[in-house]
Amino acid sequence: MNDQPFLAKPYLLTHSLMPENHETPISFIDTPFVPNKYFYRRNHFAYPALSYSSYWLPIGGFVETPTVFTLKDLLQLPAKTLKVALECSGNKRDFFQPKVFGEQWKRGAISQGQWKGVPLRTLLEKAGLKEGAVDVVVEGYDYGPRTDLDKTYSFMRSLPLEKAMDPDTIIAYEYNQKPIPFKHGYPLRLIVPQWYAVASVKWIKQIQVIDKPFKGPFQTIDYVYYPHKDDDRGAFPVTTMNVNSSIQYPLEYELLNTGMHVIKGIASTGMGTISKVEISTDEGETWRTAEIAANEEFGWTSWSYNWTVHDKGEYTILSRATDSYGRTQPETAFWNRKGYGYNAIDRVKVKVE
Protein backbone atom coordinates (compact mmCIF):
# COMPACT_ATOMS: atom_id res chain seq x y z
CA MET A 1 0.00 0.00 0.00
CA ASN A 2 3.02 2.27 -0.42
CA ASP A 3 2.00 3.35 -3.91
CA GLN A 4 -0.84 5.69 -3.01
CA PRO A 5 -0.20 9.12 -4.46
CA PHE A 6 -3.63 10.48 -3.59
CA LEU A 7 -4.86 10.41 -0.05
CA ALA A 8 -8.47 9.45 0.48
CA LYS A 9 -10.44 11.66 2.85
CA PRO A 10 -13.88 11.12 4.33
CA TYR A 11 -16.79 13.46 3.74
CA LEU A 12 -19.75 14.58 5.77
CA LEU A 13 -22.82 12.48 5.00
CA THR A 14 -25.49 14.70 3.45
CA HIS A 15 -29.08 14.36 4.61
CA SER A 16 -30.57 17.60 3.31
CA LEU A 17 -29.52 20.97 1.96
CA MET A 18 -32.46 23.17 2.98
CA PRO A 19 -32.05 23.27 5.87
CA GLU A 20 -28.48 22.02 5.79
CA ASN A 21 -28.05 18.71 7.58
CA HIS A 22 -24.99 16.48 7.31
CA GLU A 23 -23.57 13.97 9.72
CA THR A 24 -19.99 13.35 10.79
CA PRO A 25 -18.25 10.40 9.07
CA ILE A 26 -17.83 8.95 12.54
CA SER A 27 -16.13 5.73 11.43
CA PHE A 28 -13.24 7.76 10.10
CA ILE A 29 -12.75 10.20 13.00
CA ASP A 30 -9.73 9.32 15.10
CA THR A 31 -9.00 12.63 16.78
CA PRO A 32 -10.48 13.67 20.13
CA PHE A 33 -11.19 17.14 18.70
CA VAL A 34 -13.40 16.90 15.64
CA PRO A 35 -12.27 19.54 13.13
CA ASN A 36 -14.84 22.07 12.01
CA LYS A 37 -15.09 20.50 8.54
CA TYR A 38 -16.17 17.17 10.01
CA PHE A 39 -18.47 18.52 12.73
CA TYR A 40 -22.01 17.40 12.00
CA ARG A 41 -24.37 20.15 10.87
CA ARG A 42 -27.93 20.13 12.04
CA ASN A 43 -30.21 22.99 11.21
CA HIS A 44 -33.92 23.60 11.52
CA PHE A 45 -33.93 26.59 9.20
CA ALA A 46 -31.85 28.52 6.69
CA TYR A 47 -28.71 30.10 8.10
CA PRO A 48 -29.49 33.42 9.77
CA ALA A 49 -28.25 36.80 8.56
CA LEU A 50 -26.32 38.42 11.39
CA SER A 51 -24.68 41.81 11.62
CA TYR A 52 -21.62 40.95 13.62
CA SER A 53 -20.41 44.53 13.80
CA SER A 54 -23.27 45.46 16.09
CA TYR A 55 -23.64 42.19 17.95
CA TRP A 56 -24.85 42.29 21.53
CA LEU A 57 -26.48 39.86 23.92
CA PRO A 58 -29.52 41.04 25.88
CA ILE A 59 -30.65 39.26 29.03
CA GLY A 60 -34.09 40.25 30.18
CA GLY A 61 -37.42 39.08 31.48
CA PHE A 62 -37.75 38.04 35.09
CA VAL A 63 -34.48 39.64 36.26
CA GLU A 64 -33.62 42.57 38.51
CA THR A 65 -31.55 44.43 35.92
CA PRO A 66 -32.10 43.70 32.25
CA THR A 67 -28.60 43.81 30.81
CA VAL A 68 -26.98 43.95 27.41
CA PHE A 69 -23.55 42.37 27.02
CA THR A 70 -21.23 43.16 24.17
CA LEU A 71 -18.85 40.51 22.88
CA LYS A 72 -16.06 42.50 24.49
CA ASP A 73 -17.83 42.34 27.86
CA LEU A 74 -18.02 38.57 27.56
CA LEU A 75 -14.39 38.14 26.59
CA GLN A 76 -13.37 39.96 29.76
CA LEU A 77 -15.27 37.69 32.11
CA PRO A 78 -13.68 34.56 33.63
CA ALA A 79 -13.92 31.79 31.03
CA LYS A 80 -13.77 28.03 31.15
CA THR A 81 -12.82 25.52 28.48
CA LEU A 82 -14.62 22.20 28.35
CA LYS A 83 -14.30 19.19 26.08
CA VAL A 84 -17.93 18.47 25.29
CA ALA A 85 -19.54 15.95 22.97
CA LEU A 86 -22.67 17.29 21.32
CA GLU A 87 -25.06 14.55 20.24
CA CYS A 88 -28.22 15.25 18.29
CA SER A 89 -31.15 13.54 19.99
CA GLY A 90 -32.02 12.14 16.56
CA ASN A 91 -28.65 10.39 16.29
CA LYS A 92 -29.20 6.81 15.02
CA ARG A 93 -32.84 7.52 14.16
CA ASP A 94 -32.30 5.41 11.04
CA PHE A 95 -32.01 2.33 13.27
CA PHE A 96 -35.46 2.51 14.86
CA GLN A 97 -37.84 -0.30 14.06
CA PRO A 98 -40.57 0.49 13.15
CA LYS A 99 -39.06 3.35 11.19
CA VAL A 100 -39.85 6.94 12.12
CA PHE A 101 -39.98 10.09 10.01
CA GLY A 102 -37.38 12.85 10.08
CA GLU A 103 -33.71 13.02 9.20
CA GLN A 104 -32.36 9.49 8.90
CA TRP A 105 -29.23 9.98 11.00
CA LYS A 106 -26.96 7.01 11.37
CA ARG A 107 -24.17 7.03 13.97
CA GLY A 108 -22.66 10.39 13.06
CA ALA A 109 -24.92 13.05 14.56
CA ILE A 110 -22.32 13.43 17.29
CA SER A 111 -19.10 15.47 17.40
CA GLN A 112 -16.88 16.87 20.10
CA GLY A 113 -14.16 19.38 20.74
CA GLN A 114 -13.01 22.15 23.06
CA TRP A 115 -15.60 24.82 23.80
CA LYS A 116 -14.52 27.99 25.59
CA GLY A 117 -16.89 30.51 27.07
CA VAL A 118 -18.45 32.20 30.08
CA PRO A 119 -20.79 30.35 32.40
CA LEU A 120 -24.39 31.37 31.76
CA ARG A 121 -24.64 31.56 35.54
CA THR A 122 -22.21 34.48 35.59
CA LEU A 123 -24.47 36.49 33.30
CA LEU A 124 -27.64 35.54 35.12
CA GLU A 125 -26.08 36.58 38.42
CA LYS A 126 -25.06 39.91 36.95
CA ALA A 127 -28.62 40.52 35.76
CA GLY A 128 -29.99 39.21 39.05
CA LEU A 129 -32.65 36.50 38.97
CA LYS A 130 -35.96 37.45 40.49
CA GLU A 131 -37.56 35.18 43.06
CA GLY A 132 -39.85 32.78 41.23
CA ALA A 133 -37.78 32.50 38.04
CA VAL A 134 -38.51 29.12 36.43
CA ASP A 135 -37.05 28.77 32.94
CA VAL A 136 -34.25 30.47 31.05
CA VAL A 137 -35.21 30.82 27.39
CA VAL A 138 -32.43 31.11 24.83
CA GLU A 139 -33.36 32.33 21.36
CA GLY A 140 -31.24 31.81 18.27
CA TYR A 141 -31.13 34.09 15.24
CA ASP A 142 -32.38 31.24 13.07
CA TYR A 143 -36.05 31.19 12.18
CA GLY A 144 -38.44 29.97 9.54
CA PRO A 145 -41.57 27.98 8.77
CA ARG A 146 -42.58 24.62 10.22
CA THR A 147 -44.37 21.91 8.23
CA ASP A 148 -46.97 21.42 10.98
CA LEU A 149 -47.87 25.02 11.94
CA ASP A 150 -48.85 28.03 9.84
CA LYS A 151 -46.42 30.54 11.26
CA THR A 152 -42.78 31.47 11.32
CA TYR A 153 -40.84 30.58 14.45
CA SER A 154 -37.44 31.42 15.87
CA PHE A 155 -35.45 28.55 17.25
CA MET A 156 -35.99 28.95 21.01
CA ARG A 157 -35.27 26.52 23.79
CA SER A 158 -35.44 26.75 27.56
CA LEU A 159 -33.42 25.33 30.41
CA PRO A 160 -34.81 24.83 33.90
CA LEU A 161 -33.14 27.16 36.37
CA GLU A 162 -31.01 24.42 37.88
CA LYS A 163 -29.38 23.48 34.56
CA ALA A 164 -29.02 27.12 33.53
CA MET A 165 -27.16 27.80 36.80
CA ASP A 166 -24.88 24.77 36.43
CA PRO A 167 -21.37 26.24 36.32
CA ASP A 168 -20.59 24.05 33.26
CA THR A 169 -23.41 25.47 31.16
CA ILE A 170 -21.54 28.09 29.17
CA ILE A 171 -22.04 30.79 26.57
CA ALA A 172 -19.25 29.70 24.24
CA TYR A 173 -17.33 31.91 21.82
CA GLU A 174 -14.52 29.54 20.81
CA TYR A 175 -14.38 26.04 19.37
CA ASN A 176 -11.01 24.31 19.29
CA GLN A 177 -9.14 27.55 20.06
CA LYS A 178 -10.85 29.52 17.30
CA PRO A 179 -13.98 31.65 17.08
CA ILE A 180 -16.96 29.31 16.69
CA PRO A 181 -17.43 28.57 12.99
CA PHE A 182 -20.43 30.37 11.52
CA LYS A 183 -22.34 27.16 10.77
CA HIS A 184 -21.98 26.10 14.39
CA GLY A 185 -23.27 29.25 16.00
CA TYR A 186 -20.85 32.16 15.61
CA PRO A 187 -20.46 34.38 17.53
CA LEU A 188 -22.13 32.82 20.58
CA ARG A 189 -23.48 29.37 21.22
CA LEU A 190 -24.96 27.96 24.36
CA ILE A 191 -23.17 24.75 25.35
CA VAL A 192 -25.09 22.48 27.68
CA PRO A 193 -22.90 19.50 28.60
CA GLN A 194 -24.68 16.18 29.17
CA TRP A 195 -27.87 17.24 27.43
CA TYR A 196 -28.76 16.35 23.87
CA ALA A 197 -27.45 19.06 21.57
CA VAL A 198 -30.85 20.63 20.87
CA ALA A 199 -30.30 22.53 24.13
CA SER A 200 -27.08 24.06 22.82
CA VAL A 201 -28.70 26.94 20.92
CA LYS A 202 -26.62 28.48 18.13
CA TRP A 203 -26.35 32.16 17.08
CA ILE A 204 -27.74 33.39 20.41
CA LYS A 205 -29.98 36.42 19.92
CA GLN A 206 -31.27 36.92 23.42
CA ILE A 207 -31.90 35.30 26.77
CA GLN A 208 -35.15 35.70 28.66
CA VAL A 209 -35.88 34.52 32.16
CA ILE A 210 -39.53 33.56 32.68
CA ASP A 211 -41.64 32.62 35.67
CA LYS A 212 -43.42 29.66 34.11
CA PRO A 213 -42.48 26.71 31.92
CA PHE A 214 -41.62 27.66 28.35
CA LYS A 215 -44.06 26.39 25.69
CA GLY A 216 -42.38 26.99 22.29
CA PRO A 217 -42.82 24.35 19.58
CA PHE A 218 -39.20 23.15 19.82
CA GLN A 219 -39.82 22.58 23.52
CA THR A 220 -43.31 21.09 23.59
CA ILE A 221 -43.93 19.63 20.11
CA ASP A 222 -40.48 18.54 18.94
CA TYR A 223 -37.82 17.13 21.24
CA VAL A 224 -40.43 15.27 23.22
CA TYR A 225 -40.47 11.50 23.59
CA TYR A 226 -43.87 10.22 22.46
CA PRO A 227 -44.03 6.53 23.33
CA HIS A 228 -47.14 5.91 21.19
CA LYS A 229 -47.70 6.16 17.48
CA ASP A 230 -51.15 7.68 17.55
CA ASP A 231 -51.51 9.68 20.74
CA ASP A 232 -49.43 11.72 23.16
CA ARG A 233 -49.90 9.65 26.31
CA GLY A 234 -46.78 9.42 28.43
CA ALA A 235 -44.88 12.16 26.59
CA PHE A 236 -41.79 13.57 28.31
CA PRO A 237 -39.06 15.98 27.22
CA VAL A 238 -35.68 15.20 25.68
CA THR A 239 -32.97 16.29 28.14
CA THR A 240 -30.00 14.19 29.33
CA MET A 241 -28.11 12.02 26.84
CA ASN A 242 -28.57 8.31 27.15
CA VAL A 243 -25.61 6.01 27.66
CA ASN A 244 -24.48 4.98 24.19
CA SER A 245 -21.67 3.45 22.18
CA SER A 246 -20.83 3.18 18.51
CA ILE A 247 -18.54 0.81 16.67
CA GLN A 248 -16.24 2.76 14.32
CA TYR A 249 -14.35 -0.23 12.97
CA PRO A 250 -15.10 -2.64 11.35
CA LEU A 251 -17.66 -1.17 9.01
CA GLU A 252 -21.08 -2.67 8.49
CA TYR A 253 -21.10 -5.74 6.25
CA GLU A 254 -17.35 -5.50 5.76
CA LEU A 255 -15.39 -8.47 4.44
CA LEU A 256 -12.35 -9.26 6.60
CA ASN A 257 -9.39 -11.61 6.59
CA THR A 258 -8.79 -14.08 9.36
CA GLY A 259 -6.30 -12.79 11.95
CA MET A 260 -6.24 -9.90 14.38
CA HIS A 261 -8.54 -6.91 14.08
CA VAL A 262 -8.79 -3.94 16.40
CA ILE A 263 -12.47 -3.32 17.01
CA LYS A 264 -12.80 0.30 18.06
CA GLY A 265 -15.36 2.91 18.84
CA ILE A 266 -16.66 5.61 21.13
CA ALA A 267 -18.98 5.68 24.12
CA SER A 268 -20.76 8.55 25.83
CA THR A 269 -23.29 9.34 28.52
CA GLY A 270 -25.13 12.31 29.97
CA MET A 271 -24.76 11.00 33.55
CA GLY A 272 -21.35 10.52 35.16
CA THR A 273 -18.70 8.79 33.11
CA ILE A 274 -18.38 5.60 31.09
CA SER A 275 -17.39 2.83 33.47
CA LYS A 276 -17.12 -0.03 30.99
CA VAL A 277 -17.60 -1.05 27.40
CA GLU A 278 -18.16 -4.70 26.56
CA ILE A 279 -17.81 -6.42 23.23
CA SER A 280 -19.47 -9.57 21.99
CA THR A 281 -18.63 -11.33 18.75
CA ASP A 282 -21.15 -14.13 19.20
CA GLU A 283 -24.50 -12.33 19.18
CA GLY A 284 -24.32 -11.53 22.88
CA GLU A 285 -23.68 -14.97 24.32
CA THR A 286 -20.35 -13.93 25.79
CA TRP A 287 -19.01 -10.46 26.53
CA ARG A 288 -15.45 -9.24 26.97
CA THR A 289 -14.29 -5.93 28.34
CA ALA A 290 -12.85 -3.41 25.91
CA GLU A 291 -9.98 -1.15 26.85
CA ILE A 292 -11.19 2.34 27.48
CA ALA A 293 -9.19 5.53 27.28
CA ALA A 294 -9.15 8.03 30.15
CA ASN A 295 -12.57 8.80 31.63
CA GLU A 296 -14.21 11.77 30.06
CA GLU A 297 -16.48 14.06 32.01
CA PHE A 298 -18.41 15.52 29.05
CA GLY A 299 -16.64 14.13 25.99
CA TRP A 300 -16.84 10.68 24.52
CA THR A 301 -14.62 7.83 25.65
CA SER A 302 -12.65 5.98 22.99
CA TRP A 303 -12.39 2.23 23.38
CA SER A 304 -10.78 -0.67 21.57
CA TYR A 305 -10.74 -4.43 21.66
CA ASN A 306 -8.23 -6.76 19.99
CA TRP A 307 -10.17 -9.47 18.24
CA THR A 308 -8.38 -12.50 16.85
CA VAL A 309 -10.52 -14.55 14.55
CA HIS A 310 -9.38 -17.89 13.17
CA ASP A 311 -12.58 -19.26 11.71
CA LYS A 312 -14.14 -18.01 8.52
CA GLY A 313 -17.81 -17.16 8.69
CA GLU A 314 -20.26 -14.43 9.57
CA TYR A 315 -20.00 -12.58 12.87
CA THR A 316 -22.06 -9.96 14.59
CA ILE A 317 -20.01 -7.58 16.69
CA LEU A 318 -21.86 -5.90 19.54
CA SER A 319 -20.76 -3.05 21.80
CA ARG A 320 -22.45 -2.22 25.09
CA ALA A 321 -21.49 0.71 27.30
CA THR A 322 -22.32 1.19 30.98
CA ASP A 323 -21.98 4.48 32.83
CA SER A 324 -21.02 5.28 36.42
CA TYR A 325 -24.71 5.56 37.31
CA GLY A 326 -25.13 1.93 36.30
CA ARG A 327 -27.10 2.76 33.17
CA THR A 328 -26.38 0.30 30.40
CA GLN A 329 -27.42 0.14 26.74
CA PRO A 330 -30.57 -1.90 26.20
CA GLU A 331 -30.94 -4.65 23.60
CA THR A 332 -33.77 -2.72 22.00
CA ALA A 333 -34.03 1.05 22.00
CA PHE A 334 -37.01 2.77 23.52
CA TRP A 335 -39.19 3.41 20.49
CA ASN A 336 -40.78 6.84 20.31
CA ARG A 337 -42.75 8.48 17.54
CA LYS A 338 -40.27 11.21 16.70
CA GLY A 339 -37.25 8.96 17.01
CA TYR A 340 -35.11 10.45 19.78
CA GLY A 341 -32.48 9.00 22.07
CA TYR A 342 -31.72 5.74 20.22
CA ASN A 343 -29.18 3.88 22.30
CA ALA A 344 -29.58 0.16 21.73
CA ILE A 345 -26.45 -2.01 21.92
CA ASP A 346 -24.55 -1.24 18.72
CA ARG A 347 -24.26 -3.99 16.11
CA VAL A 348 -22.03 -4.48 13.09
CA LYS A 349 -22.15 -7.59 10.94
CA VAL A 350 -19.00 -8.76 9.17
CA LYS A 351 -17.92 -11.74 7.14
CA VAL A 352 -14.49 -13.30 7.62
CA GLU A 353 -13.23 -15.07 4.52
Name the site residues for its own copies (rule: CB under 8 A): 1, 3-6, 8-20, 22, 25, 27-28, 46-49, 99-104, 144, 147-148, 182-183, 251-257, 314, 349-351, 353
Least separation in angstroms between CB 229 and its own copies: 10
Closer to its own copies by Cβ: residue 90 or 193: 90
Least separation in angstroms between CB 212 and its own copies: 28
Least separation in angstroms between CB 4 and its own copies: 4
List, edge to edge, every strand of the sheet that includes 152-160. Answer: 67-70, 56-61, 204-210, 135-145, 152-160
Closer to its own copies by Cβ: residue 62 or 155: 155
What angle (nearest 5°) sits at the alpha carbon of residue 304, between those of residues 298 and 307?
A: 160
Beta bridge partners of 139: 156, 206
Closer to its own copies by Cβ: residue 83 or 183: 183
Closer to its own copies by Cβ: residue 143 or 287: 143
In what helix (H) or strand (E) does residue 145 lie, and over which residues does it extend? strand 135-145
Q: Distance from first CA to last CA of the chain, Å, rounded? A: 21
Most distant pair of Cα atoms in the chain: their distance: 71
Q: What Å distances lie between residue 181 and 66, 202, 291, 336, CA to CA?
A: 29, 11, 34, 33
**DSSP state, 238?**
-
Least separation in angstroms between CB 109 and its own copies: 15
Least separation in angstroms between CB 178 and its own copies: 17
**DSSP string over 291-309:** EE-S--SSS-EEEEEEEEE
Closer to its own copies by Cβ: residue 9 or 72: 9
Least separation in angstroms between CB 318 and its own copies: 16
Rg (CA), the chain: 21
Least separation in angstroms between CB 303 and its own copies: 21
Q: What Å distances lie between residue 41 and 26, 90, 150, 352, CA to CA?
A: 13, 12, 26, 35
Closer to its own copies by Cβ: residue 258 or 286: 258
**288-307 in b/e burial notation, b at 16+ Cβ within 10 A?**
eebebeeebebbbbbbbbeb
Closer to its own copies by Cβ: residue 199 or 352: 352
Residue 95 to residue 107: CA distance in whole angstroms: 9
